[in-house]
Amino acid sequence: MTPIKECLINKSTKHNPIWLMRQAGRYLPEFREIRKENPNFIELCLNEKLSEIITLQPVNRFDFDAAIIFSDILMIPFGLGQNVDFKKNFGPILGEIEIDEILKLGDYSFSKRLEPVYKLLRNLKHSPKLENKDLIGFVGAPWTLLVYMINKVSPKNGLSKNFFKDENLIKNILKILDRFVKLHIKNQVEAGATIIQIFDSWAGLIVKDFEKYLYEPTASLVEYTKNLGVSVICFPRNIKNFKTYSDIIKPDAINIDYNVNLENILTDLKIPIQGGMNPEILLTDKETLKNETKKYLDIFKDHPYIFNLGHGILPNTDPNMVDYLVKMVKDY
Ligand code: CP3
């Protein structure tokens, strides 16, 4: 059994496996090299040869316990026919939603548009480089995808005032997402993903109707994924009530963000925990990194704990700091 599965399934506290959110990407010079030649991000995600190379880049450098596929949560809106562009120093820009077109979309057409993602997983499934490591597939949670699909840009760049105005549109999109996010999960699992992570990066924006936007849609995905026989890790960034979240949604593990109070989370969560450390710590110095890493390892020493960050690794991170971090976690 892989070290991460030991933790998730056997609840082992013997070792702390490690991987990092956004490990495949911009902080690596060898990624930037490829990216420079491939200005269209979506096309790069759909290039199964290059996305295989990028997925393996961090695993070649560091002793991570998992590879996460090089893809994006916005591949789902893309698969639904919504235009998705990435603008440098700005982020994603989505096109209009053609709801009537989406309602006519069949499973086959969606899966066909995203076929390179599944091909990537099939190619990696038996890679000798991933021996005894997990291959992580992922999706955005319905809420976070809804936010991008309706707002068209990241809420970082401002949230539309009319966001909640069209309740009917929201209801329709959540229904569509339930169907196609499940299909995307199923396709990834059939192609070789051994873990699914659900990213709910904007969960913290929900202030009411938690049941409708957060609990019900995510619980449904978690149950679906577990029934496919793979583990599922949820990352509800910046939520307040982890205990309720965990009790209702029942994931195999929760990735915590860096605002979480560590003593409280230990009493609140009985399931394995992943992540937490502020990615900015990797921008400081080795001494600070050592102390901060040790803080997490100490607090969770009797709890099944997968080392990871409280959000994605930052683009200006020095790979040497990542190397130092991985060695420290392995030597603990
Ligand atoms: O973890 C990995 O290394 C695997 C690949 C991965 C990417 N995006 C590649 C990527 C994963 C797991 C994601 C998840 C993702 N994408 C999330 C959830 C996690 C989070 O960070 O909150 C979200 C919200 C997105 C949407 C998205 N994609 C945004 C907002 C942006 C632009 C800003 C940014 O973070 O870079 C992207 C682009 C993106 N996705 C890049 C990469 C490597 C950068 C592309 C580039 O080189 O310009």
CA distance 29 to 143: 33
pLDDT exceeds cutoff 90 at 66: yes
Ligand 1 centre and the CA of 21: distance in Å?
Answer: 9
Query: How confident is the model over 170-176, as a mean pLDDT?
Result: 96
Distances in whole angstroms, Cα of residue 147 to Cα of each of 99, 100, 170, 205: 15, 19, 10, 9
First to last CA, the chain: 21
Q: How confident is the model at residue 46 (pLDDT cuts 50, 70, 90)?
A: very high
Q: How far, in Å, from the CA of 13 to the mean position of ligand 1?
A: 30
CA R_g for the chain: 19
Please list every protein residue whose CB sits less than 6 Å from any atom of ligand 1.
Answer: 21-26, 35, 41, 68, 70-74, 86, 91-92, 138, 154, 199, 201, 312
Rounded mean pLDDT, 267-271: 97
Q: pLDDT at position 164, please?
A: 83
Q: What residues have CB less than 8 Å from 103, skipping those under 6 apart?
A: 172, 176
Contact 254, 233 (CB under 8 A): yes
Q: What pLDDT score does 161 carry?
A: 85
Cα angle value 238/3/8 (rounded, 5°): 50
Whether residue 249 contacts residue 213, with contact meaning beta carbons closer than 8 Å, is answered with no
Percent of the residues in the chain that have a pLDDT greater than 90, as a whole number: 97
0.85 exceeded by pTM: yes
